[in-house]
Amino acid sequence: MTGFEKKVFEFIDRWGLIKQGEKILVAVSGGKDSMALLHFLVSKKERLGCEICVANMDHGLRDDSGREEAVMIASFCEKHDVPFYHERRDVTQYHKNNRGLSLEEAARIVRYDFLFNAREKLGADKIALAHHLNDLVETMLMRIARGTGLKGVISMKPMNNSIIRPLLSVGVQEILDYVTINMIPYKEDPTNVLEVYDRNFIRMRIVPLFKELNASFEDAIYRFYMNIMESYNIIEEKVRSFISSLETETENGKVQRCFGELDIFLKEQDALVAEVVREIVMRLSEDGYPPSRERIEAFMKLLGKQDRRWTIEFKEDIKSSRLGKYIFFYRGDLFESMKDDVDEVIEKLPVRVSTRFGEIILNYEKGKLELKEKFDGKKVCPCTLKVLKFPLRFRRVKCEDRMIPFGSKKEKEVFKIIKESGMTGFITRIPVLENADGTILWVPGIRAAEQCRVSDSEDGYALFRFERR
């Protein structure tokens, strides 16, 4: 194996880019980078244990020239028996229709849309892009020049979901050598016309100066990149495990709200909490951008205060509030957003209430309470008529709610009872049945209160039923 091949193999192995039996869609423009990637993957597919297919998009930027590349790639694919998918997309038109975007951004969006589309059509698992070490160096310097953080400086990843970049450890010179030695056909990359000014400026003017300081500048940047990747992985893991300890409500895979106890925030180190908050706000937000450093610091200050109730806005419509012992993160208005929740005043029985969790039926029963049904207080809860006072109220659980669980003598937070029941999801949406005197009588599906207990001597009682949706 040549040095180039060894390096690429090691990189694929190091980051687990390709797994046995996977089908890899190679994005090929026809330039030397993507042709080298294609040649490498095709010639090593047995060893890698993968299938290869190719997608080429004509940007439609230079009249008819896109056709030349397509013909060249198609002939390469035919020779090596590789499925080839081609499409012409009008980037210029898309750019005209979306004036807020730069031409490069427009091309990027059209290109990714094309690639994900092609991946589906060809039934591929992953998409391989031909970004190499010089691209990485330029991207990192560009990010640093604009101000970034750990996550931003390594935005060009070896693997990002289904996108893989097998050439990230080899430089453009090594690629050129590989292409020359293997007599691989290529055209001057037609997408070069899309190069933005900044990237060109870094490549042509800044990188050469760094190379005067250090002839192995690209290797130095690569070491920096690898070190930062490792560091970032440590933090990412800690952040992930913290966030997974919060209660989160998602809709269509998008985070809507989440909350957790103040204590778990206070126990963790500040820097990690800041990172967690940054990540939560990014997940909550439409654009995926993090809040400003100043907002994070303002949040951290509030967190340390004694005030039991505050709200802070991070950006647009994304806020955090403390309500007693809990910290919430949400979009829009925390209570407004919950108004679809049940809040029903009950003047008499029988009654049937529909909630997002299920149907709740309250009724009177005659005679003595017999233990024919499994009256565990969860799905079926008998309640003595001695305590029942109208109007009852069905409402969302509050932070400050407390009750005496059936069989116990000690009052306990309802939130805690719900949590201990193993209930997952957004527990602040769970309804409770409140007596006219303010006692919580029942948490449907979760627990009855001690006050409900029906004595042996009683003739007749109320029965609450919960039918999960």
**Known binding-site positions for ATP:** 29-34
244 binds a copy of itself (CB under 8 A): no
Strand arrangement, sheet containing 392-396? 343-346, 392-396, 431-434, 440-443, 447-448
Distance of alpha carbon 3 from alpha carbon 307, whole angstroms: 62
Q: Does 98 bind a copy of itself (CB under 8 A)?
A: no
Shortest Å, Cβ 250 to a copy of itself? 25
Q: Which is nearer to a copy of itself, 68 or 198 (CB)?
A: 198
Size of residue set near a copy of itself by CB under 8 A = 44
Separation of alpha carbons 409 and 63, rounded Å: 82
Instruction: From 440, 359, 456, 372, select the one nearest 406 (Cα to Cα).
Output: 440
According to the binding rule CB under 8 A, does residue 209 interact with a copy of itself? Answer: yes
With both helix axes pointing from N to C terminus, report the angle between 3-14 and 32-43 in degrees, rounded to the nearest 10.
80
Tokens of 309: 């109730």
Site string for a copy of itself, 431-450 (x = CB under 8 A): --------------------
Shortest CB 233 distance to a copy of itself, Å: 4
- Nearer residue to a copy of itself within complex by CB, 210 or 426: 210
- Decide: is 156 part of the binding site for a copy of itself (CB under 8 A): no
> In DSSP terms, which residues pair with 416 in a beta bridge?
none
Q: Segment contacting a copy of itself (CB under 8 A): 105-113, 217-225, 306-314, 402-410?
A: 217-225
Nearer to a copy of itself, 267 or 309 (CB): 267
Q: Which of 67, 223, 368, 416 binds a copy of itself (CB under 8 A)?
A: 223
Largest Cα–Cα distance in the chain?
97
Minimum CB distance to a copy of itself smaller for 237 or for 333 = 237
b/e sequence 118-134, b meaning 16+ C-beta within 10 Å: bbeebebbbbbbbbbbb
Nearest to 177 by CA among 13, 25, 40: 40
The single residue among 146, 305, 366, 468 that binds a copy of itself, judged by CB under 8 A, is 146
Other Cβ atoms closer than 10 A to 407 = 10
Q: Which is nearer to a copy of itself, 292 or 354 (CB)?
A: 292
The site string for a copy of itself over 291-310 (x = CB under 8 A, - otherwise) reads --x-----------------
> How would you classify the pairing of strands 247-251 and 254-261?
antiparallel
Is there binding between residue 212 and a copy of itself (CB under 8 A)? yes
Question: Which residues are CB-neighbours of 332 under 8 A, at least 6 positions away?
Answer: 317
Tokens 């009855």 sit on residue: 448
**Helix ranges, 15-48 (H):** 32-43, 45-48
Binding mask 157-196 for a copy of itself (x = CB under 8 A): ----------------------------------------
By CB under 8 A, residue 13 contacts a copy of itself? no
Using CB under 8 A as the criterion, which residues of the chain lie in contact with a copy of itself when the complex forms?
142, 144-150, 153, 198, 201-202, 205-206, 209-210, 212-214, 216-217, 219-224, 226-228, 230-235, 237-238, 269, 271-272, 274-275, 293
